[in-house]
Chain A
Amino acid sequence: MSELLELQDLSVTYRTSEGPVPAVRDVSFTLPAGRSLGVAGESGCGKSTLAAAVLRLLPASATLGGRILLNGEDVLTMKFGRLRAVRWGAASIVFQGALHSLNPVQRVGDQIAEPILVHDRKATTGSARKRVAELLTQVGLPPRLASSYPHQMSGGQKQRVMIAMALACKPQLVIADEPTTALDVMVQAQVLDLLTSLVRELGLGLVIISHDLSVLGTTCDELMVMYAGRVVEHGPAREVLGQPTHPYTRALAAAFPTIGDPSSRFAPSGLPGDPPFPGDLPPGCPFHPRCPSAIEACSQRPVELEQVSPGRTAACLLVEARP
């Protein structure tokens, strides 16, 4: 039985006027139904590109390599007609910045109903409307909100609408790209609760992309950390957060202080410098210029993902590989 989502050595390279820019390099993972995966990293590490790649939503200037298997079918070689059916029907995306991801001159209910009417030949406007009301209730919004416009709603409400819209065609996989960015903390918590309960109830596969580790730690089963287009660490969420092995993960985890833990106070956190521009990567491990534990070998040899313990991998020379 094939997994719900399986990425095999996915690479995405953008063709630009300054040469090819590798945004995503050799990313692989599997996600079975009913599990959630968190993808963490700073901006520019390729996580949003990854999300868009799963449904082949990248611009024409992007070249993709590797395979993306959705229920065993390779998305990258699908014919257009099949791809359109898969989009939203099998997998959907909750985009970030719901501020601009909704059509400003169309009512919210119509936008949720649109994929229903497109994918289901037998759907009528009446049945679609009923389904829209169901979905809105499922995400905790009053059904009468269907007749409002996006600008009349708050940030949290818009994000819930995006989630309702993502569930419209009963997909098996939902990818949430920065679902809580630009929301205040209380609303963040509500949205995350909603996502976790939906995964449980509907048996969905969920991929959450965020730069906020605290969000991912509590919501996801597995955690994958990306840096400069590569996976640097991957494993069960609790373990990766609790005992990070890669220096980058360690720095990322330390950047979020634990409230109430006295050792977090005054502890130095954060990393100097900026993530590298994907078109201009340093030799060897891309993280070595900022790494507090870098050694000479880090700038010379490329680093591969090695298994650290059963179910955990990391890409660092300093971590002992244990097959």
Chain B
Amino acid sequence: MSSIIPADVEPPPSPEAPVRRRQRGKGESLGRYSVRRILTGLGTTVFVVVVNFFLFHMLPGDPLTNYTRGRNVDQNQIRELRKAYTGPLWVQFKHYIRNPFSSHIDSAQFSQPVWKVIGDHVWPTLLLVGTATVLSTIFGLLIGIKAGWRRGSRFDKWSTGSTLVLYAMPEFWLGMMLLILFSTGLGPLPGLFPSGGVHNPELSQSSPAGVLSILFHLALPCATLTLIYLAEYSLVMRASVLEEKSQDYLQTARAKGLRDKLVRRRHAVPNALLPSITLIFLNLGFIISGAVTIETVFSWPGLGELTYEAIRGPDVPLLQALFLLFSVAVIASNVAADIVVASVDPRTRS
């Protein structure tokens, strides 16, 4: 790849890159800052709860008919629905506020309480997203460091070019491409990987064969997510390392007789990691909702696929609960990001 690839690239703002939160002031103790940050987070949660209400209680059409169309619905449920969705708006709001997580309403599709449905679908998402996060963080950071340190080298050009292309890719398209190559099999490639689901239903999940089956099914979706996340981490880390490279204290380190690798490892990288840590934690919140398309493509029975089914319904109570869950996850990860960075960067400690 020639110099078509730009020298300095930071990833474009993703649709979900949030703002830099209020930083901790000098002299403010970690405890006080954490409390302040958590309170801000709770405030934002309140805002989100209110928004959640308005969004879902203003949908067109009669929620009761939508809900009960073609199904047998329990009398209790109809009573609950009436209380939640009919009447003047402010009455609905009062009812909603008492239980914003609407634990007593059943999902339209599953005829089970919404939160039980969600609970059943949590672990596949955690498995998929968790593994992908760990792998993409490790590899993304390593690639970014190596590319940024030896800027302009062949490794840098190739890795930056590839990560740019990956960053421009719709993740579900990459997933489908991997499926067609490795599951259906194209040309000389045999279709070895399963095309969907989380495990072979004939095998018990706790047996070694069952675990292996789960891993086998995990391979492709996890690879897709890892590649996509890796792109962003690598680009950010590279930009960060480039920024640190021009700092004076690196010259001091070199003058002290340190080898290049040590200068990089002990001095440049810890400083360059700080913005990346922020990014990783911030992403945690968005990852859950971002896996919607991937889980759909791979029929992975997690929260993402649940969301997809809820969209198709539309299963309003379920959508409402999912929306709230995703928003709270983002808020929580924002708070966590700020607190982690504040505790790790000594410049913000008193």
Contacts and interface: CB of A to CB of B under 8 A. Distances in A.
Do A and B come together as binding partners? Answer: yes
Residues of B contacting A: mostly: helix
A57 interface: yes
Nearest to A91: B255
Interface stretch (A101-109, A131-139, A203-211): A101-109
Interface of A: 52, 55, 57, 84-89, 92-93, 95, 97, 100-106, 114-115, 118-119, 149, 151, 165
Contacts of B258: 84, 114, 118
Interface stretch (B244-252, B276-284, B288-296): B244-252
15 contacts: A55-B255, A84-B258, A87-B256, A88-B255, A95-B252, A97-B248, A100-B247, A100-B248, A101-B248, A102-B249, A103-B249, A105-B346, A114-B256, A118-B262, A151-B346
B256 A149 contact: no
A313 to B, nearest CB: 30
A110 to B, nearest CB: 9
Given A93-B255, A118-B258, A100 B249 contact: yes
Interface in B159-213: none
B267 A106 contact: yes
A30 to B, nearest CB: 22
Name the interface size band of chain B: 20 to 34
B106 to A, nearest CB: 52
Determine which residue in A85, A97, A104 has the highest number of CB atoms from chain B within 10 A of its CB, and name it. A104
Given A100-B249, A101-B249, A102-B249, A57 B271 contact: no
B347 interface: yes
Given A87-B255, A88-B255, A92-B255, A104 B248 contact: no
B254 A57 contact: yes
Given A149-B347, A151-B347, A104 B249 contact: yes
Contact of A149 (B259, B267, B274, B346): B346
B12 interface: no
Contacts of B248: 95, 97, 100-101
A229 B262 CA distance: 33
Nearest to A102: B249
A147 to B, nearest CB: 11
Contacts of B251: 52, 57, 95, 101
Contacts of A104: 249, 271, 346-347
Contacts of A115: 256-257
